[in-house]
Chains A and B, each alone.
Chain A
Amino acid sequence: MFKMMSLFCVLIFSGSSWSKDLIVGMELSYPPFEMTDRSGKPDGISVDIAKALALSLKRDLRIENISFDGLIPALKTKKIDLIISSMTSTPERAKSVAFSTPYLKTGLALLLQKKSKIQKPEELNNSGITIAVKKGSTGHLFATQNLKNANLLVIDKESSCVLEVTQGKADAFIYDSLSIYQHHKKHTTVTRAILESFKEEFWAIAMRKNDQELMEQVNIFLKVYKENGGMDRLGDKYLGDQKKEFKKLNIPFYF
């Protein structure tokens, strides 16, 4: 009975685990990193990285569009080989999955209510200050650990976090500097932005912990790709305007 069940399972699942395709999981809803073009094909910075990675490993690429919450289970149950989906590597997360060397550096920034009295990040940790964070983001993690005196609003949706700030229910929204830049551009009359990041963060590719061979291949690929200017080209291609603006403000760019 047991043997038959195993055989049955092997027959069903062999398709994904034995094929030579490199299966990359990502959620295609974070432009310009993970998105789809007009014809519905995957597009964006992470997609280009995945394509280059597959090319260097000489494997065919298959991209699976999976919602963020489903990515980790898909990886751990071997439905996908790795995740490139704007994931920030933290020591705590590394207990569950393995991370490559970082391919992008970003940081936390502040979207402020124009009327708020906050002038710099150090003033956040005070009672009477209300801070919106997106549930589960690194901004949320930072706030729970470092801003214990402030009143914290944990919110499901990024757009609602912005709404809390524009409506004056929250003084500040802590998020990555790229998103904060974009939100501030949309609401220049009611918000201010502090884009200089007060905490650095690194995005990395996630793999299974026991997949050592793939991990080595990925790290070698990333090193070569960066040295050959692959990342800089991606920055020019997808984030040209921001790159110029950041240069003007004298803030280091992501790659």
Chain B
Amino acid sequence: MKQLLYFISILLFFTSVSLWSFNEIGYEWNWAGVLDYRKKFSDGFITTIWISVSALSLSIIIALMNSFLLGSRHLFLRTLGKFYVELVRGTPLLVQLLLIFYVFAQSFGISNRYLVGIFSLALFSGAYISEIFRAGLESIPKAQWDAARVMGLSEKKILSIIIIPQAFRVILPPLAGQFISLIKDSSLLSVIAISELTLNAQEVNSFTYSTLESYIPLAFLYLLLTLPLSQIIKFLEKKMKYET
């Protein structure tokens, strides 16, 4: 209750400072011109939601698969996993998108840009998430493995009932950050002509020459997606605390 009160007063202060600043520089708003394009905002918002959700799910699957590669007994598979992480993390998403869509997908005859876009985004995020998974697993002291082995538990059992539940709690905060990044990174899909939220807001800006009036709603709409996400993860964190 107290926190809500603080939150509202901070929000009010922030809003009034913003309004005062705009007033002080004599900014001429053109909201009416932008309002004509509200359908562009809602269409883009919906596209961003379903693209983000699909890429997010796929990136978890990719990260899990890569975790198996990284934890494999074969050096070749481990090297493959590391190669993927380093290559994808170390290069700009923009370059990856352009190469995957215009070169690789083109040569394999795949022309559905939404499919390629979601896959590229998931591939990018998957590299980060698999590193988060690895860090989570490694955060559990080796002594717990030894203790569990002494108790006669199988490797599978140790993982599923001792290591993973604890690691899960550790990875939640960085995972939330990564998911939020993924939602915002989806704005880069505009380079392969996917009409998501950012692209549509930029279009409205170019049609109306009202830059801030087009981008301020954009900020709110992304917050509308990222805030619930971090709330869900916070809730999960709390729930996991009671379990252990």
Chain A residues within CB distance 8 Å of chain B? 6, 9, 13, 69-70, 72-73, 76-78, 90, 92-93, 95-97, 132, 135-137, 140-141, 153-157, 160, 163-164, 167, 169, 206, 208-210
* Residues of chain A contacted by B96 (CB below 8 angstroms): none
Chain B residues within CB distance 8 Å of chain A? 24-28, 30, 32-33, 98, 102, 106, 111, 190-193, 195, 199, 202-203, 205-212
Nearest residue (CB) in A for B204 is A136
Asked if A93 and B207 make an inter-chain contact with CB atoms under 8 angstroms apart, the answer reads: yes
* Residues of chain B contacted by A90 (CB below 8 angstroms): 207
22 example contacts (A-B, Cβ-Cβ < 8 A) are as follows A70-B211, A72-B205, A72-B209, A73-B211, A76-B212, A92-B208, A95-B210, A96-B28, A96-B208, A132-B193, A135-B199, A136-B202, A136-B207, A137-B206, A153-B193, A154-B193, A155-B191, A160-B191, A160-B192, A160-B193, A209-B28, A210-B28
Task: Report how far A137 CA is from B33 CA in the complex, Å.
Answer: 17
Nearest-CB distance from A153 to chain B (Å)? Answer: 5
Task: Report how far A97 CA is from B209 CA in the complex, Å.
Answer: 7
Nearest residue (CB) in A for B27 is A76
Task: Report how far A81 CA is from B33 CA in the complex, Å.
Answer: 23
Asked if B199 and A154 make an inter-chain contact with CB atoms under 8 angstroms apart, the answer reads: yes
* Residues of chain A contacted by B190 (CB below 8 angstroms): 135, 154-156
* Residues of chain B contacted by A157 (CB below 8 angstroms): 191
Task: Report how far A69 CA is from B26 CA in the complex, Å.
Answer: 20
Nearest-CB distance from B243 to chain A (Å)? Answer: 46
* Residues of chain B contacted by A9 (CB below 8 angstroms): 24
- Identify whether the interface residues of B are mostly helix, strand, loop, or mixed: helix
Q: Which of B106, B205, B212 is in CB contact (< 8 Å) with A136?
A: B205
* Residues of chain A contacted by B28 (CB below 8 angstroms): 76, 96, 208-210
Asked if A95 and B33 make an inter-chain contact with CB atoms under 8 angstroms apart, the answer reads: yes
Q: A154-B193, A167-B102 are in contact. Are A135 and B203 (CB under 8 A)?
A: yes
Nearest residue (CB) in A for B113 is A153
Nearest-CB distance from A17 to chain B (Å)? Answer: 9
Asked if A136 and B203 make an inter-chain contact with CB atoms under 8 angstroms apart, the answer reads: yes
Asked if A140 and B206 make an inter-chain contact with CB atoms under 8 angstroms apart, the answer reads: yes
Task: Report how far A237 CA is from B190 CA in the complex, Å.
Answer: 37
Task: Report how far A12 CA is from B111 CA in the complex, Å.
Answer: 53
* Residues of chain A contacted by B210 (CB below 8 angstroms): 72, 95-96
Nearest-CB distance from B46 to chain A (Å)? Answer: 16
* Residues of chain B contacted by A160 (CB below 8 angstroms): 98, 102, 191-193
Asked if B206 and A136 make an inter-chain contact with CB atoms under 8 angstroms apart, the answer reads: yes
Asked if B25 and A77 make an inter-chain contact with CB atoms under 8 angstroms apart, the answer reads: yes
Nearest residue (CB) in B for A89 is B209
Task: Report how far A154 CA is from B201 CA in the complex, Å.
Answer: 13
Nearest-CB distance from A72 to chain B (Å)? Answer: 5
Nearest residue (CB) in B for A93 is B209
Asked if B102 and A92 make an inter-chain contact with CB atoms under 8 angstroms apart, the answer reads: no
Please name 9 further chain A to chain B contacts, defined as beta carbons within 8 Å, in addition to the given A156-B199, A167-B106, sorted by A numbering: A70-B211, A73-B212, A96-B33, A96-B210, A135-B199, A154-B195, A155-B192, A156-B190, A160-B192
Q: A96-B209, A210-B28 are in contact. Are A135 and B202 (CB under 8 A)?
A: yes
Nearest-CB distance from B35 to chain A (Å)? Answer: 11
Task: Report how far A30 CA is from B125 CA in the complex, Å.
Answer: 34
Asked if B27 and A77 make an inter-chain contact with CB atoms under 8 angstroms apart, the answer reads: yes
Task: Report how far A76 CA is from B208 CA in the complex, Å.
Answer: 14
Task: Report how far A238 CA is from B97 CA in the complex, Å.
Answer: 35
Q: Which of B24, B192, B195, B206 is in CB contact (< 8 Å) with A6?
A: B24
Name, among A6, A78, A140, A160, the residue most crowded by chain B CB atoms within 10 Å (CB to CB): A160
Q: Which of A70, A95, A135, A206 is in CB contact (< 8 Å) with B208?
A: A95
Q: A156-B191, A163-B102, A167-B102 are in contact. Are A92 and B33 (CB under 8 A)?
A: yes
Nearest residue (CB) in A for B190 is A156
* Residues of chain B contacted by A69 (CB below 8 angstroms): 202, 205, 211
Nearest-CB distance from B17 to chain A (Å)? Answer: 10
* Residues of chain A contacted by B202 (CB below 8 angstroms): 69, 135-136
Nearest-CB distance from A125 to chain B (Å)? Answer: 19
Nearest-CB distance from A179 to chain B (Å)? Answer: 16
Nearest residue (CB) in B for A69 is B211
* Residues of chain B contacted by A72 (CB below 8 angstroms): 205, 209-211
Nearest-CB distance from A143 to chain B (Å)? Answer: 11
Nearest-CB distance from B21 to chain A (Å)? Answer: 9
Task: Report how far A92 CA is from B206 CA in the complex, Å.
Answer: 10
Nearest-CB distance from B171 to chain A (Å)? Answer: 34
Q: Which of A70, A93, A155, A167 is in CB contact (< 8 Å) with B193?
A: A155
Nearest residue (CB) in B for A161 is B193
